[in-house]
Amino acid sequence: MSREQHRLAAIASADVAGYSRLMGRDESQVGPELEVRYVLEFAGFAGCGGGI
Protein backbone atom coordinates (compact mmCIF):
# COMPACT_ATOMS: atom_id res chain seq x y z
CA MET A 1 0.00 0.00 0.00
CA SER A 2 1.41 3.40 -0.96
CA ARG A 3 1.84 6.16 1.59
CA GLU A 4 -1.07 8.11 0.10
CA GLN A 5 -3.35 5.07 0.22
CA HIS A 6 -2.33 4.44 3.83
CA ARG A 7 -3.21 8.03 4.77
CA LEU A 8 -6.56 7.84 3.01
CA ALA A 9 -7.34 4.52 4.73
CA ALA A 10 -6.56 6.09 8.11
CA ILE A 11 -8.78 9.08 7.37
CA ALA A 12 -11.65 6.87 6.21
CA SER A 13 -11.29 4.68 9.30
CA ALA A 14 -11.39 7.68 11.62
CA ASP A 15 -14.40 9.02 9.73
CA VAL A 16 -16.31 5.74 10.15
CA ALA A 17 -15.43 5.58 13.85
CA GLY A 18 -16.58 9.17 14.36
CA TYR A 19 -19.82 8.57 12.48
CA SER A 20 -20.56 5.48 14.58
CA ARG A 21 -19.91 7.42 17.77
CA LEU A 22 -22.23 10.21 16.67
CA MET A 23 -24.99 7.78 15.67
CA GLY A 24 -24.76 6.11 19.06
CA ARG A 25 -25.04 9.45 20.81
CA ASP A 26 -28.04 11.03 19.07
CA GLU A 27 -29.21 10.05 15.60
CA SER A 28 -31.34 13.18 15.12
CA GLN A 29 -28.31 15.47 15.43
CA VAL A 30 -25.90 13.51 13.22
CA GLY A 31 -26.86 15.11 9.89
CA PRO A 32 -26.61 18.75 10.97
CA GLU A 33 -23.45 18.14 12.99
CA LEU A 34 -21.69 16.35 10.14
CA GLU A 35 -22.66 19.08 7.71
CA VAL A 36 -21.03 21.73 9.89
CA ARG A 37 -17.90 19.62 10.40
CA TYR A 38 -17.44 18.93 6.69
CA VAL A 39 -17.90 22.59 5.77
CA LEU A 40 -15.21 23.56 8.29
CA GLU A 41 -12.87 20.74 7.26
CA PHE A 42 -13.13 21.46 3.54
CA ALA A 43 -12.52 25.15 4.20
CA GLY A 44 -9.37 24.11 6.08
CA PHE A 45 -8.23 21.84 3.26
CA ALA A 46 -8.76 24.61 0.73
CA GLY A 47 -6.71 26.99 2.88
CA CYS A 48 -3.68 24.70 2.79
CA GLY A 49 -3.89 23.76 -0.87
CA GLY A 50 -5.74 20.50 -0.25
CA GLY A 51 -2.98 18.96 1.87
CA ILE A 52 -3.53 17.20 5.12
pLDDT in tens, 1-52: 788 888 888 888 887 777 777 777 777 777 777 777 777 777 766 666 655 5
Cβ-in-10-Å burial (0-12, 13-18, 19+) of 29 comes to exposed
Question: Domain coordinates of the chain in residue numbers?
Answer: 3-47
CB 30 within 8 A of CB 23: yes
pTM for this prediction: 0.41
